[in-house]
Amino acid sequence: MTRIAVSTLALVALVAAVAAYVLTGTFLGSMPSIGFGWVTLVVIAVIDILLAVRIRSAISDNSVGQDRSQMHPLTIARSAALGQASAVLGSAATGVGVGLGLFFLLRLGDLAVADRELPAAVAVLVSGAVLVGAGLFLEASCQTPPDEDEHNGLTQPT
């Protein structure tokens, strides 16, 4: 599995920011409050970090395998996919936070709701960025260490 590109995450964030800005301007009266939905992103980031630490520990202790006492390689591969998905979700949430924050910041004196929603938009932005970092950390933790074989599997010449 290839690592997720930073350009992909930037593109997701840009599209989400533009969409959030435009849709907020269009549907502001019918949208619910942002509230504390950003807490879910922080919880997912904490789970990603704990899983990454556990996987790093298993890889460094050579306890990866198919024994019951070892971490299964398929679990590590699924965790890498979870890390990529978390990074994409965090990137989208960061973009939404930027779009909402920009919309409310530009209308701070004009809209009464801007004063209440701006801190929540910033919280979405920050928690999304934390989730991107946690997802990328989890993905990096799932990489296999390089082989210590100097001869690329060939026998050493005599």
Question: What's the CA angle centered on 47, arms 102 and 91, to 5 degrees?
Answer: 25
Within a domain: residue 150? no
In Å, how far are 41, 90, 143 from 3, measured between CA atoms?
Answer: 21, 16, 10
Helix, strand, coil fractions of the chain, as percent rounded to 5: 70, 0, 30
Cβ-proximal residues to 99 (8 Å cutoff; 6+ apart), any chain:
16, 17, 18, 19, 20, 21, 22, 24
Cβ-proximal residues to 105 (8 Å cutoff; 6+ apart), any chain:
114, 118
Within a domain: residue 68? yes
For residue 156, what pLDDT is reported? 60
For residue 30, what pLDDT is reported? 86
**Given a cut of 80, is residue 153 above it in pLDDT?**
no
Within a domain: residue 147? no
**Given a cut of 70, is residue 20 above it in pLDDT?**
yes
Within a domain: residue 81? yes
By CB atoms closer than 10 A (0-12, 13-18, 19+), residue 96 is buried
Cβ-proximal residues to 93 (8 Å cutoff; 6+ apart), any chain:
16, 38, 41, 124, 125, 127, 128, 131
Within a domain: residue 25? yes
For residue 21, what pLDDT is reported? 96
Within a domain: residue 23? yes
**Given a cut of 70, is residue 143 above it in pLDDT?**
yes
Cβ-proximal residues to 15 (8 Å cutoff; 6+ apart), any chain:
95
How much of the chain, in percent, has pLDDT values that exceed 90? 73
Within a domain: residue 119? yes
Q: What is the mean pLDDT of residues 126-153?
A: 85
Q: What is the mean pLDDT of residues 11-24?
A: 97
Which tens digits make up the pLDDT trace of 83-139? 999 999 999 999 999 999 999 999 998 888 899 999 999 999 999 999 999 999 999
**Total domain count, the chain:** 1
- Where in the sequence is the domain holding 104, given as residue range(s)? 6-141
Within a domain: residue 149? no
